[in-house]
Chains A and B, each alone.
Chain A
Amino acid sequence: MNMHAGNEVAFRDEIADFCKKNLDPEVRRLSDLGLPVGEAALLEWQTKLVARGWGAPSWEEKWGGSGWDMRTLFIFEEEMAAHGAPLVGTFNIKMIGPILQAHGTPEQQAHYLPKALSFEHAWCQGYSEPGAGSDLASLQTRAERDGDDYIVNGTKIWTSGGHLANHMFCLVRTSREGRRQAGISFLLIDLETPGISQRPVHHFYGAHVFNQFFFDNVRVPVANRVGKENAGWDIAKSLLEHERLFSARHTEARRKLGRLERLSKDVRIHGRPAIEDPQFRDDLAKRKIELRALENATMRALERLVDDGGIGPFASVLKLRGIEVNQRLDRAIVQLLGPDALPAQAAWEDGALNAFVPDEARNAAESRYWWRGPAIAGGSQEVQRSIITKHILNL
């Protein structure tokens, strides 16, 4: 199915209906609050999506994809987020799946794709290292040939969800000659392999998202290399173009705005609902306007994507502003809550806050803290500014 103006409304309704019928209200509540919904709930949701044929819409149809065009894919993801569907298996569905379809051998595809779709495999991404962040090409983890294996030594860090994963796709150095980018290969590593150890790296406010992995003479079959030796850099860069629209993070911002608007009717300032307070109203209007402009910018980008097949450095504009919009919304929520944003996550677990603090306060402060991260990851805000300067403004 592909989108024309006429059936877009029907398609959006179909998604809304599916979510209403299949999404556990508790899961929806947690994902609206920006909280993790738990592994069991994610698996259950993915199973329902797969049954409906929506488990990996961007994939080729023979692997369980939908065959939709880019506009339809965009609408699907936007509508899913709008109805509180949790983001499932980003590394499985949006990263390793498309990469294997584009660059994997038939054997790799047949072995890994079904397991990525069913979540039998849970993937994590091994790109960053302690000495290689925004300057990823300086990575040092090395893989040396030994017969039919590579021997991998080194360390990977900032591995989101690594403690929940059983497989890692990984960039390793296989050559020190020529350009730094030209000596990197793309490996698939089973995390059960001997010689791998892992430690949690806690966020400054306590959450366990990041991990560090250590590789000590880890044997990885050469058959687990995706693409040619030393061709890993371009493979890692080949993110699907339609995913670049989501660098605007506008669906998450839309959910935050919903939360802020609900709170603005309940929280009182000088005895009146906050929505009647002139200063709060002005602040809320700022948030609404900048999000609306961001959404229009995203629709412009979608139009360009459909017309030209790509959006080029405009993705940097979307990312830069999208993160700022999300961060400002989080701050507005916390400021409106005032003391109700004081309890930590753990305080919600024993019910002590029930009836004292609105449920919408849950995870408000932690979300603000978590959102410092996206401004650093995937090319920091400053890297995006440099891209704009060089590739758009031609300075």
Chain B
Amino acid sequence: MRFAASEDEIMVEDMLDRALREARDRAPHVDGHAPRPDPDVLREQLGSLGLWGGWLPEAAGGADGGPRLLMTLARGLGRVPTYHGLIGGCVLPGAILAGTARQDALDLTARLVAGEMPVAVAVLEPGTRWDFEMPVTQAEPDGDGYRLTGVKSHVAEGATAEVFLVSARDGAGVSLFLVPAGSDGLTVSPFPATDGTTWAMIRAEGVRVPASSRLIGPDDGLAALERAFTLAAFAAAAESLGSCEAALTQTLEYLRTREQFGQPLATKQALQFRVADLHVDIEMLRSQVLGAANALADGYSGRARSDVAAAMALAVQTGDLVGREAIHLHGAIGMTRELGVGYHLLRADVLSRWLGSAEHFRAKLMDLEEHAQ
């Protein structure tokens, strides 16, 4: 498998860049803040271009683009500050739904591919960080269905979802249930995260669902979650790569034009060496994201999973560093929402808080390699 972008990938990159640029140019300036594209319009446009869910298999309505297309998409989105919702609204639910052969799941997937966000995945629980292996949320048999009780925290795209994919303990295993947002006993509490995106807390108090709502599980529920979160981490690493590229490009442009002490900042060796080091870090992240994409394209193996863990560990570390440096190298203007370069630090933080810290992914890599032996 090659590293360099194929002709198709370059075409996709161009389409994506054009769509994002146009969306940004159309976006209103509010209170002098840096403009953000309207996410609904953007998703619809990317859906109609076949880009949004193109990474999904054809059987699920996608274009069989696989991890390479997902990487291109997520990286492109990372380059332009926007509340795109790709990972929470498309990658996580898409990976889970496409793994089933059920018609209702495929109907939902078709809507994902078009750029809608009808499904949110509710897996994290209070006080357990990223350990989703042992949910406290319980599914108890109740007549010809189940009764769900528990709290799910930090549900991405949960504020607007029509239906939730809720993980719950089901006998000795873990199952995933499709639960409509309007169900009796289900409380959805939206909240904003630090990067401006909207999330939700969910409380289920004896929510009754029919037997058919159990989409996956109890034996294969965890494996499905593991697979979906691996793909989410991969997309997040690719998004971070795009984010780092954009932050560095913007910073370099500023160094070339901003003058202090009678000279452009770009002439200062102390600053040159800082950006040179950032470039090296970004090249390493790019290399590992490409390596992970190629490994995943060869199949969902232990090696592919550890390559994704390595990519995300680097992405968290590099995203944080580049985000901080981009602010600092801009000086005071870097602190402002008016300029907006700080978005990259906000986003790097949110991706890491949500999907796992660098330490988390390093521990995962070690475990995966030991089990491979």
Contact = CB atoms under 8 A, between A and B. Distances in A.
Interface stretch (A66-74, A205-213, A292-300): A292-300
Contacts of A292: 288, 291, 307, 310
Nearest to A320: B280
Interface string A280-320: 01101110111011101101100110010000001001001
A296 B279 contact: no
A281 B366 contact: yes
A293 B273 contact: no
B290 interface: yes
A393 B290 contact: no
A202 interface: no
Interface string B254-268: 011000000000110
Interface stretch (B71-79, B176-184, B357-365): B357-365
Contacts of A314: 283
B277 A385 contact: yes
Q: For the side of the interface on B, what is the size category?
A: 20 to 34
- The A interface is mostly helix, strand or loop, or mixed, namely helix
A88 to B, nearest CB: 30
Given A385-B276, A389-B276, A307 B283 contact: no
Contacts of B332: none
B313 A289 contact: yes
Contacts of B307: 292
A395 B252 contact: yes
A329 to B, nearest CB: 15
Nearest to B285: A293
Contacts of A382: 273
Q: For the side of the interface on A, what is the size category?
A: 20 to 34
A321 interface: yes
A100 interface: no
A393 B283 contact: no
A314 B282 CA distance: 13
Contact of B290 (A281, A296, A304): A296
Interface string A238-252: 000000000000000
A284 B359 CA distance: 11
A395 B283 contact: no
Interface string A151-185: 00000000000000000000000000000000000
B30 interface: no
B291 A296 contact: yes
A317 B280 CA distance: 6
Nearest to A294: B284
Interface in A305-343: 307, 314, 317, 320-321
Nearest to B284: A293
A392 interface: yes
A308 B369 CA distance: 35
Interface in B299-343: 307, 310, 313-314
5 contacts: A281-B362, A282-B362, A289-B314, A292-B310, A385-B272
**Cβ-closest 3 pairs across A and B:** A285-B362, A297-B287, A296-B287
